[in-house]
Amino acid sequence: MQRRVLLATSNPGKLRDFAGAAAPYGITIANIPHFSSLPEVIEDGATFEENARKKAESYSLTVPGELVLADDSGLEIDALGGAPGVHSARYAADEPHTAECNTDDEANNARVLRELNGVEEKKRAARFVCVLAVARDGQTLHTFRGTAEGVILDTPRGQHGFGYDPLFYFPQSGKTFAELSAVEKAQYSHRGAAFRAFLEWYRGANGREL
């Protein structure tokens, strides 16, 4: 059974999240060799799935024969009509839908807090969404979706994680995602859920000589 899967990301937080989710199963998550030197794939899809598929297909062409995982993920806040959504990583930009570069985590969090100013806690429901795509040689083999339901706090808590983790309170754990270890987060997170769906497929696919 193949035990290594390559992850198409330059985000160390994502690599840590997926490695934490994979560790209990003896699977190694590694970055694509020389990933930083590869041409960047523009994430201009209208959905998380479109962006995940585009990245997985494009980057898998750089490592022939290897399985490549790519994700697109973000935060959906009900009170903001589902924003920041697919623009989560560049939400602090003046026009997130046209921004070519990600914006700073703190700036993204600050914008969310500004927009939720005065909104009471019971109306701050939100969810993290992750769509994973697995591809080989430019072809998507499957996609997987995971979600985590929570509430946006009015002040950040915790030193772990990245992105919106310090604001995202997960009632089931009694903590924000930034207060969880990588292994704990994998049990609850949207990425952990998507990865477990991938793992179930992966095990079956290997039985069919993936």
- Short-list 144, 146, 142, 145, CA closest to 67: 142
**Can you tell me the distance from the alpha carbon of 57 to that of 133, in angstroms, rounded to the nearest whole number?**
9
CB 48 within 8 A of CB 130: yes
Determine which one of 72, 94, 137, 154 is catalytic: 72
**H/E/C letters for each residue in 21-32?**
HHHHHCCEEEEC
CB 91 within 8 A of CB 112: yes
What is the length of the chain? 210
Peptide bond before residue 33 is cis, with ω within 30 degrees of 0: no
104 catalytic? Reply is: no
Question: Angle CA(79)–CA(82)–CA(86) in degrees, nearest 5?
Answer: 145
CB 43 within 8 A of CB 120: no
By annotation, the residues acting in catalysis are 72
